């Protein structure tokens, strides 16, 4: 069974960078599409982007200019960075691999 766990600050100031890490157990991150997804309060799911094969990335066009996803196979983790955040980036952030999801972590953007 694959388990994923998101970690990172729950509060980020406007204009700063949101940074989250997804720690994976039960399988290797290698060879999978490693996704980040978010859900703003009261809204639906929004795909942020993925990394594949430790280097190929693909991002939601609406976020592409602000997003970076990276992977550390040695730690079996992958990470999300979203810069220049605003209140609109307040959301529960999930990591996902092959249908397995973390429990999500709420990130609030506020001064």
What's the rounded Cα separation, in Å, for the pair 17 and 8?
A: 11
Q: How far is CA 16 from CA 12, 83, 88, in A?
A: 7, 6, 13
Under the binding rule (CB under 8 A), the answer on residue 101 touching other proteins is yes
Among residues 21, 23, 60, 68, which is the contact residue for other proteins, using CB under 8 A? Answer: 60
Tokens of 37: 């997804």
- Mask 5-44, x = binds other proteins (CB under 8 A)? ----------------------------x-x-x------x
Two tokens at 67? 């997003």
Residue from 50, 80, 89, 90 touching other proteins (CB under 8 A): that is 50
Q: Which of 10, 55, 61, 111 binds other proteins (CB under 8 A)?
A: 61
Are the C-beta atoms of residues 69 and 34 closer than 8 Å to each other? Answer: yes
């Amino acid at each position: 069974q694959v388990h994923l766990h998101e970690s990172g600050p729950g509060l980020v100031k406007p204009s700063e960078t949101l940074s989250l890490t997804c720690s994976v157990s039960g399988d290797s991150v290698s060879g999978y599409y490693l996704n980040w997804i978010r859900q703003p309060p009261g809204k639906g799911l929004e795909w942020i982007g993925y990394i594949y094969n430790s280097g190929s990335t693909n991002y939601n066009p609406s976020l592409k200019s602000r997003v970076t996803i990276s992977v550390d196979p040695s730690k079996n983790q992958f990470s999300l960075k979203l810069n220049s955040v605003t209140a609109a980036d307040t959301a529960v952030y999930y990591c996902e691999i092959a249908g397995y999801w973390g429990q999500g972590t709420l990130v609030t953007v506020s001064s």
